[in-house]
């Protein structure tokens, strides 16, 4: 078994693709409209779906806003230089909501961004 993807519902697909592809440097792997169901699926990630876990961005055409709830946590991405990564992402329009630094009660260096829909993205400094 292998984890294939995580699905996020997004209110503005173009805004979300700009964030995930331009700011987080993911690639748009595939996208398809489903007119009868009034939705579009876009898959983004850092590698081919055959051997990488990816994100499925689901845009329901008639929905402008979602209630994210309080059970969902975040997506985590490992980076080599968290300080330079946060600077670059901010320059590209990314919104850093927690600046890089050690996590509470630990030594792992983390930072958080927020995507256009309010989903949290954790950056983790790789050793």
49: annotated active-site residue: no
Residue 84: C-alpha distances to residues 11, 67, 81 (Å): 29, 32, 6
> Which of these is catalytic: 49, 87, 114, 122?
122
User: Which residues participate in catalysis according to the annotation?
Assistant: 122
């Amino acid at each position: 078994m292998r984890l294939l993807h995580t699905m996020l519902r997004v209110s503005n697909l173009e805004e979300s693709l700009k964030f995930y592809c331009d700011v987080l440097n993911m690639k748009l792997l595939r996208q398809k409209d489903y007119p009868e169901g009034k939705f579009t699926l876009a898959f983004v990630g850092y590698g081919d779906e055959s051997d990488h876990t990816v994100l499925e961005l689901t845009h329901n055409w008639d929905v402008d806003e979602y209630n994210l709830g309080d059970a969902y946590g975040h997506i985590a991405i490992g980076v080599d230089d968290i300080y330079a990564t946060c600077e670059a992402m901010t320059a590209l329009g990314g919104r850093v909501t927690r600046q890089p630094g050690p996590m509470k009660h630990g030594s792992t260096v983390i930072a958080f961004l927020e995507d256009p829909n309010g989903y949290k993205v954790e950056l983790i400094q790789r050793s």
